[in-house]
Amino acid sequence: AVDAIARYRDELGLPLIVKETGAGMSPQALDAIRSTGVEWVDVSGRGGTSWTRVEAARPDAPPFGGMFGDWGIPTAAATAWAVRRGFRTISSGGIRTVLDVLRALALGATLVGAARPVLIALEDDELDADAVLADWIEGLRRGCLLAGARRPAELRRVPRLIGSPLRDWISLDEGGVG
């Protein structure tokens, strides 16, 4: 896959985003992607849509497929590892609230992706997706104010406290056991 990524990057001559599909990106995978010269990753960590669960729902799925539905690397850990390697990072997977967005930005994400809250608003006659997004924008403004950041990109420079278990996950990149 690494060779294919490098080939596509060279053939396209455009910025390429390598995206995970719900299980997060390990330090080893990120190192391999970095070796291709790709600058952008979407870590799509555990916590959002589990494509293992989606596949397990198929009639022809193996009987053990569903047991791996919670498998993967949390979005926050994958985000921290990607940022540490200098990637422009899209943090997605399990982003449910504006607090999740603020936390991902504080970990260094360049962008944050969240589908579920908007999809729920689109399906609910009493909710308005535009209003949900407007609330999130206001929440980002308030969160930045409370953190002492003038804009969301500055959140990566504010002091933050990383507790366990995220601290343990992040330490796995440093040879820790977790």
How many angstroms separate the CA atoms of 147 and 90, rounded? 21
Higher pLDDT, 86 or 9: 86
Give the pLDDT of residue 176: 59
How many angstroms separate the CA atoms of 120 and 20, rounded? 23
Q: What is the DSSP letter of 46?
A: B
Taking the model in full, what pTM does it have? 0.92
Give the pLDDT of residue 159: 94
Residue type, 106: A
Run of H or E residues at 9: helix 2-12
How many angstroms separate the CA atoms of 48 and 3, rounded? 28
Give the pLDDT of residue 88: 98
How many angstroms separate the CA atoms of 138 and 135, rounded? 5
| Alpha-carbon torsion angle 155, 118, 75, 19, nearest 10 | -110
Give the pLDDT of residue 63: 79
Run of H or E residues at 121: helix 116-123
Least confident among 40-49, 54-63, 144-153: 54-63
Give the pLDDT of residue 143: 98
12-23 confidence digits (pLDDT tens): 999 999 999 899
Give the pLDDT of residue 69: 83
In the chain, what percentage of residues exceed pLDDT 90? 74
Tell whether the model's pLDDT for residue 85 goes beyond 70.
Answer: yes
Residue type, 111: L
Backbone CA torsion sign across 54, 123, 41, 46: negative
Least confident among 57-66, 89-98, 157-166: 57-66
Tell whether the model's pLDDT for residue 172 goes beyond 60.
Answer: yes
Tell whether the model's pLDDT for residue 178 goes beyond 80.
Answer: no
How many angstroms separate the CA atoms of 109 and 160, rounded? 14
Paired with 40 in beta bridges are 17, 88
Paired with 50 in beta bridges are none
Question: In angstroms, what CA-CA distances link 41 with 44, 45, 133?
Answer: 9, 11, 24
115-163 confidence digits (pLDDT tens): 999 999 899 888 888 999 999 999 999 999 999 999 999 999 999 999 9
